[in-house]
Structure formats: C-alpha cells, structure tokens
C-alpha cells in the first residue's frame, strides 16, 4: 500500500487533546503493578525461544482455510473481504454484546469497523465502548456515533459485565494494572479478546495465568489503529482493504474460539489472517516496533541526515536523500515488488554503493536487534513499559520531531515533487540491511515466515512509513500504542549511534564488502515469502490525507 497524500493538506483531524491520557489515579495503579514486576519479584522463567514452532494446523467450518507456501514452509491463512460479511452471523454465534474497552490507537478503529461490518452483515450485535469514568475520550467516542443514549457508551467495568466478547484494548500498562478487576468483572462464558500478547508476557513474568474458565483469543492488526480504519473506509468499493492481522487462540473452552477470532479479523477488514500464538506475537511485535518498524528507521534517518551534510549536502537535500528516499521510493518498491527489487533495480556504481552500505550496516544493526529480542523475551522490555507507565504523570511523553531534521523535513514536504523522489543507494543499503537483520533474528528464534514478513516488512511499508512520509516521524510513532512509542524513543538513539560509530566508519575507512553477506541477501529464502505476501496485498493504497472518521494524534 502506497501513500497518496498531498503534503500541503492537513490531516483529516488531529487530536484536540494531544497530551497523553493518563490520570494520577491510573499512575497509582501502575505503581502497584510496577512494584509487582520489579527486578527482584518472583518471576517465572521466560524462554528466549519463540513458541511459534508449536503451532498446529487450524480448521474452520465457516471460512476457507488456504495453504500457502512461504519460502520452504507451508502455512495456513484465511483470506478476508467484504464478500465474507454474510458469514459473520455464524462466526459470532452466541455473541449478543461486544465491549470494546479503551480508546487509544486500536480501539476507535476496531470498534467502528466492527460496528459497520456487523451492521452490513445484518447482525443484531451491540458494539459498546467502555471507558474509565471521567475519561476525556467519551467526547471522541460520541463524535463517531457511540453514545450513552443508545447504550453504546459507558463506564468500562459496567460494559465488561454485560459483554459476551470483551475486547481489552486499553494500553498494555493499563492491562497490567487492571487485569484482576477485568477478569473478575467478566460474566461466565464471556470471551476475552486481545490485540496484543503483552498481557500474557506480563502474567508469565509474575507467575500468573488467565482464568481457565474462559476463551482467550487475539486478533492483532499489523498496523497502527488509524491505518486500520482508513484502509477499511477507503476499500469499501473494492471488496475491502485493510491491514493484515495475526490471530491466536490461547484458550478454547467453548470450542468456538477459532471461528470467533476469524470472524473478528474479517469484520476488521483484514485482507488475510495468519495464525500465531500469544507468546510469539508479543515477542515479534514488541521487538519489531523497536526495530525497523519505528525505532530503527528513526535512527537511520537521523544518522544519515547528519552524514550527508558532512559530505557537503544542504540540509534539504540531506533530508531528501535520507528520509524521503526511504518513505517516498524504497518502501514503495518493497510494498509491491519485494525487498530484493530495490537491489535488483540498481546498476553499476549504485549497486556497489548499496553493497558497501549493506555490508557495513548488517552486523551493527543485528547486534542491537538481537539485544532487543533478548530484552523482550526475558521480560525486561515489558518491565520497562510498566515502569515508564508509572512515571508518565511526572514525565509526560514529549515531542520527537523538534530537531533540525524534522523542521527541515516539514519544509521539504511542502515543496515535494512526489514523482521525482530519488532512490539513494547508500540509504537503501542501510535500510535494507537493517530490515534483513530484523528478519534473520526472528527466523533464528523460530518465528514463522508469515509473522516475520508482516512484523518486519508489510507493517513497515504499508502502515507506518506512509505516516512518516505524510507528516514526519512523530506522526508515525505517536499514533501507535504506548508500548510502541515508549520503545521507539528508547531504541532509536541506539541505532543512530551504532550506525554512525561502526557502519559508516567502516565504509569511510575502506573496509571491503563482505561478499558472503551479499550472497546471503541475494539468495535469502525470505524473498519468496515476501513475494507471496505481495500477492495478498489489497489493491487500495493508504491515503493519509483523505477525509476519515479516525483521529490522528499530534503531540504539541
């Protein structure tokens, strides 16, 4: 999916309340959970090896399950589309009320998509929003049609008590603080729905589990919430478009959990869904957003922007050759033709420059990426998020686009010639090397190709980079979850530093190209998997600047 937005136009709507919505009372709750999750707390050991290899084949009597060859492995997917909406009543059988709890990145998009899809399918299922008492998000929910008068908006625990499917979409830190109260409020037979495996990681780390008498499922869109809604709206006339999603069935007491999870994904507008586990999902997701999805690409742009100016470029040209080259050219090629197409399209000296940059950047990037994966798998990164939530009232999330890089970027965007954005081969080599290093860390940890490609490639090029292309790094990062924006801010400087100190100096000092690394890239099995995923992409390219019911966040 490519971006199609006029740089002069403003976002369809920006948040009237740009500060982070964490109250002092919520901070106190987080303090309790952070204490329980302290380094000295008694925590269950968490394996560094992904459990994804333990996946079994799944079946559905409602939706067609397809076998797809990703590289040298066979996986199963379910293809979505609006033509499947007539199947939703059967998938949601027994569900009369859905409670969408929260109003952050994912909740507004998922609630509206579900409401619209179920209505079109003729389902008499109420979608109700649950928010903490006094939340400023009540006003935002009312703006898109959820109201107290219609009994589709209420206090979160009142909504939880009434719901047959509780979609817990509050922030990860809030889930860690409130999970006991949430579980206690759920009625017998209700299903817990998640869009991230973070809560499982937290529970594992403190030696706890989900209650055994409930179904626990997850549907995890591989993109930020606003893009989930925008693509749903923009794809209405072409049998739907949206963001791919993984799904997981963690507990299936009713025997209906798989069908419900698949129905949820179809109702969100996912072009296709692939199976994962909650454990594999949180490892790959938290890791990915700290890597090439958010943190790494931020660090890459900052480091290259400075490098190109040292080489004599103007600030404007340095931004064009770094950030614009990635968001306006490189990711567009990857989105439709795959990673290797970037390399194959280069010739002569440009290809040699790519090789130099790739060879020098791959191992430094992989060093940081392996550290991130280990931090996530061990529970350390989850603990960081919890502790950051505890501090949020004292140290609010600040702007990350106030530097010269992004001030210049605003000027460049206002004068952009969309059809003539250059592909800088050095920039391409650094970006592709980091993406490939991220892929290799996940594959070495046992994650399946479908998850690896979506968490390292599809989400980057089809959901996130279009937002940076439209309005800069903060517009991309800050429209993601609290966990994502926390991790991006933490790890972006690490990529910036290691590339500047190790990769670029290696090139400048004339270090020879590592031909083994280049050969491994040229012949990597992931290229076949990416090619297969490109076949499954929707025909609609995201338009970030078009009218939408979604609200993007702009931190002032």
**Binding site members for Mg(2+):** 285, 289
Answer positive or negative: Cα dihedral of 181, 184, 187, 190.
positive
Tell me which of 196, 388, 447, 469 is the catalytic residue: 196
Q: Is the distance from CB of 520 to CB of 443 less than 8 angstroms?
A: no
- CA distance linking residue 472 with residue 390, whole number of Å: 28
Give the C-alpha distances (Å, rounded to integers) separating 5 from 158, 413, 417, 428, 456: 41, 11, 12, 23, 24
- Considering only CA atoms, which of 424, 417, 407, 188 is closest in space to residue 325? 424
Write down how long the chain is.
556
- CA distance linking residue 120 with residue 550, whole number of Å: 20
DSSP for 371-413, please give it: HHHHHHHHTHHHHHHHHHHHHTTTS----S--SHHHHHHHHHH
196 is catalytic: yes
- CA distance linking residue 85 with residue 298, whole number of Å: 39
Planar angle of CA 15, 475, 107, nearest 5 degrees: 55
DSSP for 50-86, please give it: -SGGG------SSS--EEEEETTEEEEEEE--GGGGG
For the chain, what is the radius of gyration of the CA atoms? 22
Planar angle of CA 324, 327, 331, nearest 5 degrees: 135
Return the SS3 of 509. Answer: coil
Cite the active site residues. Answer: 196
């Amino acid at each position: 999916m490519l971006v199609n937005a006029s740089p002069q136009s403003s976002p369809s709507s920006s948040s009237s309340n740009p500060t982070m919505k964490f109250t002092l009372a919520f901070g106190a709750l987080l303090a309790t959970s952070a204490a329980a999750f302290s380094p000295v707390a008694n925590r269950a050991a968490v394996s560094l090896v992904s459990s994804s290899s333990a996946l079994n084949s799944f079946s559905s009597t409602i939706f067609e399950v397809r076998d797809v060859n990703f590289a040298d492995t066979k996986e199963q997917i379910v293809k979505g589309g609006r033509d499947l909406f007539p199947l939703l009543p059967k998938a949601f059988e027994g569900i009369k009320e859905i409670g969408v709890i929260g109003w952050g990145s994912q909740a507004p998009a998922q609630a509206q998509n579900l409401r619209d899809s179920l209505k079109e399918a003729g389902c008499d299922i109420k979608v109700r929003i649950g928010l903490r008492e006094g939340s400023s998000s009540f006003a935002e929910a009312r703006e898109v049609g959820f109201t107290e008068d219609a009994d589709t908006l209420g206090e979160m625990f009142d909504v939880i008590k009434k719901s047959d499917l509780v979609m817990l979409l509050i922030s990860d830190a809030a889930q860690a603080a409130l999970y006991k109260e949430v579980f206690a409020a759920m009625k017998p037979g209700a299903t817990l729905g998640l869009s991230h495996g973070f809560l499982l990681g937290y529970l594992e780390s403190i030696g706890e589990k989900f209650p055994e008498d409930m179904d626990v499922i997850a549907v995890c869109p591989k993109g930020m919430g606003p893009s989930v809604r925008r693509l749903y709206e923009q794809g209405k006339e072409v049998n739907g478009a949206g963001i791919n999603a993984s799904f997981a069935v963690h507990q299936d007491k009713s025997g209906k959990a798989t069908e419900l999870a698949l129905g949820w994904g179809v109702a969100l507008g996912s072009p296709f869904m692939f199976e994962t586990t909650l454990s594999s999902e949180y490892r790959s997701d938290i890791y990915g957003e700290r890597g090439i999805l958010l943190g790494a690409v931020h660090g890459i742009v900052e480091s290259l922007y400075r490098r190109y100016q040292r080489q004599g470029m103007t600030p404007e040209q340095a931004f064009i050759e770094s950030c614009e080259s990635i968001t306006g050219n490189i990711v567009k090629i990857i989105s439709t033709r795959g990673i290797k197409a970037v390399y194959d399209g280069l010739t002569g000296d440009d290809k040699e420059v790519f090789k130099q940059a790739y060879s020098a950047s791959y191992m430094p990037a992989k060093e940081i990426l392996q550290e991130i994966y280990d931090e996530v798998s061990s529970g350390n990164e989850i603990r960081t998020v919890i502790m950051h939530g505890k501090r949020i009232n004292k140290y609010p999330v600040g702007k990350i686009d106030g530097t010269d890089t992004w001030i210049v970027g605003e000027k460049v965007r206002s004068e952009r010639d969309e059809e003539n954005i250059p592909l800088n081969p050095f920039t391409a080599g650094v970006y592709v090397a980091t993406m490939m290093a991220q892929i290799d860390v996940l594959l070495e940890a046992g994650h399946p190709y479908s998850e690896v490609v979506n968490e390292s490639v599809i989400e980057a090029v089809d959901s996130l980079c279009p937002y940076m292309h439209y309005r800069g790094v903060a517009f991309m990062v800050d429209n993601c979850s609290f966990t994502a924006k926390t991790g991006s801010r933490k790890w972006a400087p690490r990529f910036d530093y290691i590339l500047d100190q190790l990769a670029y100096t290696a090139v400048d000092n004339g270090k020879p190209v590592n031909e083994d690394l280049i050969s491994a890239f040229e012949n990597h099995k992931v290229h076949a998997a990416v090619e297969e995923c490109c076949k499954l992409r929707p025909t609609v390219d995201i338009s970030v600047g078009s009218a939408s019911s979604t609200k993007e966040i702009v931190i002032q």
